[in-house]
Amino acid sequence: MEEFAEGRTFVNSEEIGEFADVIVPTAPDGTEEEIRIHYYEEGNGEPLVLIHGIGQSLYTWRYLYGELSMNYRVIAIDLPGHGYSSRPESFCYSMDEMAETIRAFLEVRGIVSAHMVGFSTGAMYMLHFLSKYPEMVANCIAIAPGGITARMPRGIRNFKSRFKAVFSRNLFTERTVGKWLREAVNDFSLFDGQAVKQYYEPVSDGLTREALMYAVQNFDMKYATDEIRESDHEVLMLWGKEDAWHNPNNSVFFKGILKNGRYFLIRNAGHIVQEEVPEKVLEVIENYIPVIPVAARRGYYRNFVNDGVQTDADETYLPGEAPVPEEPEEERFDEEAYAALGNELPEYPAEEDAPLTLDAEDYESGEEEYVPEPEEEPFGLTEEDYAPCDEDADAEEAPFALFGEDEAEETGKDAEGERS
C-alpha cells in the first residue's frame, strides 16, 4: 500500500483546510442559523464530495483524499458538530438538517451538482439528500450504509436512550475509542496511537459529545429509507465482507427499497472499508465515476460549477453530460513496419491487457454470494438490528452508525451489580 503512504501522515486540524459559513433552517417556522463548515478541497475535475459518518470527521478519508484529488475536485467536509465544524446551538442534527447543510454548503461553493461518496450513517445522510435534491447529485456511492445495530458495542447503543446517553457521553476515553475502532475493522493493527488520537481529539470536549448524542437520537433510518424509495437515481452500494456492524446481507433490504441499485462486496474488509482496503475502494470509485482525461479538462468543468465564468457553449451541464472536447489524434505504433525490420513484438500476459472491472477477483456480486438459507436469521433491518436497544429508548428513535463501548466489559459490570 505504498501509494497510500500519504494517508499515514494525513491529519485533520482546524489549522489546515478552509471554512465556509452556511445558513441552514433549523426549525419548521423558518428559523435559521449560521454554521461554520470545515473542509478540505484539492484537485481539478468533476466535484466529488466525501461525507463521513456520525462520530467521525473527514480524517476517515485520509488514504483516499490525495489519490482521488489526482482525477477529481475532491471536497471532504466535517459535518456540523463533528471534526472542526461549529456546534450550532439550535441545531437538532436531524436528517433534514443534515441534508440542508449539504445543500447550503454546495451553494456557497458554487457547485450546481456533484458526485458523492458517503460512509455508514453519512451514506444515509447522502441518500436523504439525494431524495430531496436529486438534481444536485450525479453518481453516488454508499459504503456500508445503515444505522445502529445490536452488533455494535453497548456504549454507542446507550446513546439512543435519553437517560443513559447523559452518562455514557461522559465516560468514554481515548482508550475506549481505540477499542471501538479495532472492533469495527478486520485488521486490528490499522489503528495505531496516532490514528486513534485523530479520532478522539475532535470528540473529547463536552459540546461535541452533546452533539453526538443528539445526532444519534435524531438519526431516523426509517424516514431516510421511506424517502429514497421514490428515487430512480442509481446508487452503488458496497460492504466489507467481514463487516460485523452492518451485515453485508443488508443488501437484501436495500434491494427492496432502491429502484436502481448496484451491490458489491470487498473481501478482507470489515466496517470501515475505505481505511482498511483503500486501494480497492479507489478502484471502485474510479471505475464507477467517470474520469475526464486531463487534455479535455480545459474550459469543461465550469459548465457545471457555477463560478460566474461564461463558457463557449453558454450552457450549464450536469457532471457527465457536458460535451468533452476531442483529444488530438496521436501517432499510432505501426506493428507491421516494426516487424518488417526484423524486430519481435513483445507479448504481454492477458491479465495486463484486461480492463479493470468491478467483477474482478476482489469484488463479488452480493446477490450471488449471499443467498439466505431457510435456517439463517433474516437479513436486512430486522427487529434485532434496528429496534430500540432498551426499554428506555423511544420507539421512534432510529439507528446510527459508529462506535460503542466494550459490550463484554459492560455486561460484566451489570452482572456484578445484580449480585451485589
| CB 147 within 8 Å of CB 386 | yes
How large is the angle between the packed helices 174-184 and 193-200, nearest 10 degrees?
110
Measured CA to CA in angstroms, residue 401 lies from 323, 340, 354 at distances of: 40, 64, 37
Q: One digit per residue, pLDDT tens: the chain, 420 residues?
A: 555 555 567 889 989 999 999 999 876 667 889 999 999 999 999 999 999 999 999 999 999 999 999 999 999 999 999 999 999 988 999 999 999 999 999 999 999 999 999 999 999 999 999 999 999 999 999 999 999 888 888 878 778 777 777 777 777 888 989 999 999 998 888 888 889 999 999 988 888 888 888 999 999 999 999 999 999 999 999 999 999 899 888 888 999 999 999 999 999 999 999 999 999 999 999 999 988 765 455 444 444 444 433 333 334 444 455 455 454 444 444 455 545 554 444 443 333 433 333 343 443 444 444 444 444 444 444 444 444 444 444 434 433 333 334 443 444 444 444 444
What single DSSP character describes residue 373? -
AA identity, residue 74: V
Residues 83 and 180: their CA atoms lie apart, in Å, by: 18
CA-nearest of 98, 139, 140 to 121 is 98
- What is the predicted pLDDT for the residue at 314? 39
Q: What is the pTM assigned to this prediction?
A: 0.71
